[in-house]
Amino acid sequence: MSDKATLTYLAKALELFGVYDGAMHLPTILVFLTVANEPGIKKTELERRLGLSNSACSRHVMMLTKKGDFARLGHVGHDLVFSETDPLDSRNKRVRLTKRGDALRDHLALVLKRIKHDAN
């Protein structure tokens, strides 16, 4: 597959995020992809892996939740993830996909499988 075709498929995969927010920031997308890849990841681990501060990570997770950041930005979130208190350590939060997040992950997987198929 040519580089142009690969980049076209990557663009199509990233366009799926535009359904939720046409101006979604790359760190927010990376938070989603990391949670999709490791359901139940600790928020502190998200911070470490993505090199985000505590407040930045919280902001990106919040934008992906149903609640969003209405107070600051004036709109609700995307309902793609939710956070819950870690049952083993109440000081930590774990982040998981919602049903809507599962659907986006599955759609992204189909696009990426097509890339792999077309490459062969």
Collapsed DSSP state (helix, strand, coil) of residue 62: helix
Number of H helices, E strands in the chain: 6, 3
Res 75 pLDDT > 90: no
The pLDDT score that the predictor gives to residue 72 is 64
6 or 56, which is more confident: 56
Helix axes 54-64, 43-50, angle to 10 degrees: 110
pLDDT at 52 over 80: yes
| pTM (predicted TM-score) | 0.86
Q: Which 3 state secondary structure label does DSSP give 47?
A: helix
* Residue 82 tokens, joined: 């939710």
pLDDT of residue 39 exceeding 90, the answer is yes
- What ranges do the domains of the chain cover? 3-119
DSSP-assigned letter for residue 98? -
- Residue 32's nearest CA partner among 115, 102, 117 is 102
The CATH code that applies to domain 3-119 is 1.10.10.10
Evaluate if residue 7 carries a pLDDT over 70. yes
